[in-house]
Amino acid sequence: MIRTILFLAASAYALCAAELPVTQVILYKHGVAYFERAGTLAAGEAARLDFKAADMNDVLKSLTVEEQGGGKIAGVRYDSSEPLERKLAEFPIQIGPGSALPQALDQVKGARLELTLGGQSLAGTIVSARLSGASDKQAEKQELTLLLDSGEIRVVDLAAASALRIADAELHRKFKDYLGTLATARSRDKRSVYLDSTGGGARRLSASYMAPMPAWKSSYRLIFGADAQPMLEGWAIVDNTTGDDWNNVRLALVSGRPTSFVSNLYEPRYVVRPVAELAEDRSQRPVVYEEAMKAPAAAPRQFDAGRLMRDESALKMAPSAGLVAESRMEMASSAAVTTQAREAGELFEYRFANPVTVKRNESAMLPFVQQRIAAKKLLIWSEQASQHPRNAAELSNATGKTLDGGPITVFDANAYAGEALMETLKDGGKRLISYGVDLGSSVTTKFDTKANIVREVHMNRGVLTTKTARQDLRTYTIRNADRKAKTLIVEHPVRPGYTLLSPKASETTANNYRFTVDLPAEGNTALAVTEEYVFDTTNAVANLTPDQIFIYTQNKALSENARRQLERILQQKRQIAAADEEIRRTTADLAELDRDQQRLRENINSLNRVAGQQEQVQKYALQLAGQETRIAGLRDQQSQARKQKAVLDTALAKLIEAMEF
């Protein structure tokens, strides 16, 4: 019986605080949710909120509490994240598994104890307590040794005691806290937050916070009928992974991704302190000073979740037109869509008008949109895909709502047509979706490149810059084998540096041009797309040959003024070329004469050693004399040509420096 007292005491301690039921839930797309709990507390009663251990960081970061009834929130307490062994080690009493009451009392020897035994009240100081006499034939006895106030020492059988009380108030409080710690530790994943209030009477208490939750998901059905506008039906998939039932809660879904992060607030943070020592006979350590911290920038304005939840008066009922299917052919669900929708800054909120119930560890599908939408069936072809275009639809969102991204199942003429994925679509936006392959059409491509065309020529400080254009032609040939006309959108990739010349695109995305092509029944259609790539080429005019400059002067992109300036440079270059040719020719002639003179001198030296060769020696000497005269003339010509070239080079440099167009 005494052992049972410990368990009941611990349970009573855990139940002394009231739980607040969930009244409102708002789910986001980025892994958190807003919760609101509310309930009525009795006089002197505290409130308890239970969370998973992993939720505590977000709860401590976002918890707000409001009390109605005249009281004030005195404080918020919560279970520490320290290990249970470390928490219990601080208490004077330790109760192990299967421990009996004598083992607990023996740990507080010297404490004053009051007990009732057979109608008699006893009071005294604990001397010891133990279990004794356990055997096969004798039952275990729970003995307590007391030093009574009269000075008598008495051994008491605890099993015969009907009541006992620890008279030391401080020890009694610690014992109670010890039992409470054991009670809260029964669930390793559960953490409790206690809200203490100063109110004396009954009062209404509400608490709101953010906690991790699975993102809600969207699933759509796009239903094409015979004549009427297609029906778009949207279902929200929500998961209740909390430990609480959502009974008749106000539920809202928010499309958007506000900034959110995890800050470690729950785990105790221990600061390592420096070790301080008295100065001794030792060298001083160098002092290193840290850089001053800059003032933190102002925090960005955060999305006010609480204000969004409480501002229900601003919500307006969405139009109800088109909520009921007109014929069985459309296959629309008989769903009661009662969501109220509104913009919330950069976010969009769907709020369910009727209370929603989702039990713990259950999920639910809830209809949040069902109305007609402007949608046009067509084909779309992208170069990355196969040769066959894809069945597609162009959705124009005029619903007045933001359509959250998700999968779309398409039904056409009362039959399944395929599936598509759609990114979030704002009100007033358009989006293409594809849901199947059209085997009745095919697309082939042919690529061609035209010769480079010089578009512009510029001159500045001796540098000639030309803008040259290269045109690429890509021809798409589309074959429609079906007996009905179709509309095809061809996606042509946007290439960096290229400019589209023709035809004009119906629309442009970040990566593609889109061209709309009408396909006749059982016929071929061609789409020719011309693009231009313009690149610059730079050359120093001083390094260009006369022939290269002549080619530039013939370009039709040149202005008359630019042509005249280039022709003057061309004339100057030709004169310099003529002077270079004269220098080259005279240099070659001088080299040839030098080699001939070397031969003649060698012959003269050989003949001088032979008798009777004087006449031949005289002939060679006359030839050398004539060559010397010619060499002198060639050297004069070479010198004159070099002087002329230097003058021409100087004039060319001045001419080039002065030219600009």
What would the mean pLDDT of 453-467 be, rounded to a whole number? Answer: 80
Q: Is the pLDDT of residue 183 over 70?
A: no
pLDDT value at position 145?
Answer: 86
Q: What is the DSSP letter of 660?
A: B
- Nearest Cα neighbor of 641 from 575, 591, 594 is 575
Answer whether 661's CB lies under 8 Å from 561's CB.
yes
Structure tokens at 151: 């000075």
What would the mean pLDDT of 582-611 be, rounded to a whole number? Answer: 82
- Nearest Cα neighbor of 547 from 514, 577, 586 is 577
What would the mean pLDDT of 522-538 be, rounded to a whole number? Answer: 90
Q: pLDDT (tens digit, 9 = 90+) per residue, 150-170?
A: 888 888 887 788 888 888 887
One-letter-per-residue 3-state SS of 25-77: EEECCCCEEEEEEEEEECCCCEEEEEEEHHHHHHHHHHCEEEEECCCCEEEEE
Average confidence score pLDDT of the chain = 78
Q: pLDDT (tens digit, 9 = 90+) per residue, 609-642?
A: 777 777 777 887 788 878 788 888 888 888 888 8
What would the mean pLDDT of 271-292 be, rounded to a whole number? Answer: 48
The Cβ of residue 247 has, within 10 Å, a number of other Cβ atoms equal to 13
Name the residue type at position 54: A
* E strand or H helix that includes residue 234: strand 231-240
As a dihedral over the C-alpha atoms of residue 320, residue 324, residue 326, residue 330, rounded to 10 degrees, the angle is: 120
Provide φ and ψ at 110, rounded to 5°: 95, -10
pLDDT value at position 245?
Answer: 92
Q: Is the pLDDT of residue 13 over 50?
A: no
pLDDT value at position 8?
Answer: 37
- Nearest Cα neighbor of 30 from 306, 255, 339, 345 is 255
Place of tokens 């969501």: 339
Residue-wise burial string across 94-105, b where 16 or more C-beta atoms lie within 10 A, e elsewhere:
ebeeeebbbbbb
- Nearest Cα neighbor of 190 from 80, 19, 50, 16 is 50
